Amino acid sequence: MNEDIILVIGSNGQLGSVLTRELQKVHGYDNVIASDLYVDPCFSGIFEILDATHIADIQSIVKQYSVTQIYHLAAILSAKGEEKPLSTWNLNIKMMLNVFEVARLSIVNKVFFPSSIAVFGDKAPLEHTPQSVYLNPATVYGISKAAGENWAQYYHANYGLDIRSIRYPGVIGHQSMPGGGTTDYAVDIYHSAVKQQTYTCFLSAETRLPMIFMNDAIRATIELMQAPKENIKTRTAYNLGAMSFDPSEITAEIKHFYPDFQVDYQPDSRQLIANKWPKSIDDSEARNDWGWKPEYNLRMMTTEMLEKLKEKYNNIKLK
Ligand code: SER
């Protein structure tokens, strides 16, 4: 049997770091090449420094290792992207098209390209946002993801390239920190709780958003990539649902464990982004086509987040 060789671009990121470890388990430690702009000293495995805006550098890694699958996770997220709209567009689109082109011209036969709930704008229903709906994203990040979805569909239709994608909700995990997103509060809040600090939330108490626990997000990604080709009917990106809550609800859950935990609210520009995003997602196509089913709800996630972060901070203290 031919083994797949996997290249992960953006392996230091919130999702990339956890996904890389899982891919090492699924495909074999020596069959996964991690890559990012700099070396993470905690990383263990094969690693290459890679700036994905340079197509020749991606090409040479693909050639050197005979890569057959690429997970392209590098991007500037929604909130950070608004600081420099044009360079965000240039960077996100350039990296993505470089990856698609390298795949088209090489032995790479499968690509994972993440999309996001940021593709939706105020023309989409906020509740149970459907898979197929008019997309009018309000952030550059969202515009670049919506364009990316259409490019993915184009490469599939015209070159037969097997690109698969998920519109991730906010991803919450204890292993890594998000950077520059609108849903980041839902990770930060757990860290404050464990450190027994008051948390200042940049979204208002009633801002409900779709979210997913890291374990579910990773499992969804691998399940989508392993699904038989004929099951993949959506060649833009699949809606993916797991849970929805607002800052007041996550605070109430945390208070079961830390009754004195306090949150104050200082909404900033991220509030305006969140206001246009879905509150809940209709993911029936992902469920029907490749059997998606989330496992974690807010209670289960909170229990695991607090337990794991407590361990992490205790270990830091012991060192
Ligand atoms: N979590 C991302 C963000 O907030 C959404 O994809 O930007």
User: Phi/psi at 234 (nearest 5 deg)?
Assistant: -100, 115
What local confidence, expressed as pLDDT, does residue 58 receive?
98
What local confidence, expressed as pLDDT, does residue 317 receive?
77
Q: Which amino acid is at 156?
A: H
CA–CA gap between residue 160 and residue 169 (Å, rounded): 28
**145 Cα nearest atom in ligand 1:** 6
Indicate the Cα dihedral angle 88, 96, 218, 2, nearest 10°. Answer: -160
In order of their start, the domains of the chain are 6-170+212-239 (3.40.50.720), 173-210+243-277+297-318 (3.90.25)
Burial state string for 179-188 with b = 16 or more CB within 10 A and e = fewer than 16: ebbbbbbbbe
Please confirm, yes or no, whether 141 is among the known catalytic residues.
yes
Q: Using an 8 Å Cβ cutoff, are 198 and 192 in contact?
A: yes
10-residue stretch averages of pLDDT, the chain, 319 residues long = 90 97 98 97 97 98 98 96 97 98 98 98 97 97 98 98 98 95 98 97 98 98 98 98 98 98 98 97 98 98 98 85
What local confidence, expressed as pLDDT, does residue 209 receive?
98
Q: Say which residues have a Cβ less than 8 Å from residue 220's Cβ, sequence separation at least 6.
A: 166, 212, 240, 286, 292, 294
DSSP 60: H
Task: Give residue 28 CA to ligand 1 midpoint distance, Å.
Answer: 30
For ligand 1, pick from 76, 77, 113, 129 the residue to mutate: most ligand atoms within 8 Å of CB.
Answer: 77
What local confidence, expressed as pLDDT, does residue 315 receive?
87
- Residue 276: which H helix or E strand, with range? none
CA–CA gap between residue 317 and residue 230 (Å, rounded): 51
Task: Give residue 318 CA to ligand 1 midpoint distance, Å.
Answer: 34
For ligand 1, pick from 78, 145, 177 the residue to mutate: most ligand atoms within 8 Å of CB.
Answer: 78
Task: Give residue 16 CA to ligand 1 midpoint distance, Å.
Answer: 14
